[in-house]
Structure 1
């Protein structure tokens, strides 16, 4: 049996993690993330002197989307921003909700996968 979605976020500090990009393809949505790993995570390395976290790239992939609402925020200097801070993050069953500096994402999907690179 596979791991639950919640357990896939063990030892990842979602509140400090950031969104890098939103990619939409047909009935799929991919969120490129920089996950902030906690010391107990197997891929954890001591952060550099100028970083607060051990940043690790990853993806949230949603397939078989039946409901999708993207509310993009307009921000000053939006073209230069590379990381968007997460304000709220919730996965419950097939539903996903996230608010961040990029905007608000609400969806329902048949498949939700957490991938680390």
Structure 2
């Protein structure tokens, strides 16, 4: 049996994680992330000198989207590549996130957490 969505975030510091990109294709939405890992996560490595934490690339992929609301913020800095996360919630088939990029609210048939 597969892991639950909530258990995929064990030892992941979501408030310290960063959003890198939002990709929309047909009825799919992909969020490219830099997940901030905590000690206890299998991929955790001690941060080097000058590093803020242990970051690991990954994605959240939503398929079979039945409701989608994207409210992009005017951030003023077009060169920004990583966006801080303010709130993050997955409950059943619903997902909500507020971050520097903007607000994302959706309902999807499938929510997958992928790490590279």
CA distance in structure 2 between the aligned counterparts of 1:100 and 1:50, rounded to whole angstroms: 24
The aligned runs of 1:90-101 (5 Å cut-off) are 90-101=89-100
2:33 matched to which residue of 1? 33
1:82 matched to which residue of 2? 81
TM-score, normalised relative to structure 2? 0.98
Per the TM alignment, residue 84 of structure 1 is displaced from its structure 2 partner at its CA by: 0.2
CA distance in structure 1 between the aligned counterparts of 2:60 and 2:66, rounded to whole angstroms: 17
Q: What's the RMSD between the two structures over aligned residues?
A: 0.6
CA distance in structure 2 between the aligned counterparts of 1:101 and 1:24, rounded to whole angstroms: 18
Instruction: Give the number of aligned pairs.
Output: 116
CA distance in structure 1 between the aligned counterparts of 2:69 and 2:98, rounded to whole angstroms: 12
The aligned runs of 1:18-29 (5 Å cut-off) are 18-29=18-29
Per the TM alignment, residue 50 of structure 1 is displaced from its structure 2 partner at its CA by: 1.4
Per the TM alignment, residue 46 of structure 1 is displaced from its structure 2 partner at its CA by: 1.1
Q: What are the ranges of 5 or more consecutive residues in structure 2 without an aligned counterpart?
A: none
TM-score, normalised relative to structure 1? 0.97
Moved over 2 A (4+): none
Per the TM alignment, residue 15 of structure 1 is displaced from its structure 2 partner at its CA by: 0.6
The aligned runs of 1:1-117 (5 Å cut-off) are 1-77=1-77, 79-117=78-116
CA distance in structure 1 between the aligned counterparts of 2:18 and 2:52, rounded to whole angstroms: 13
Per the TM alignment, residue 65 of structure 1 is displaced from its structure 2 partner at its CA by: 0.2
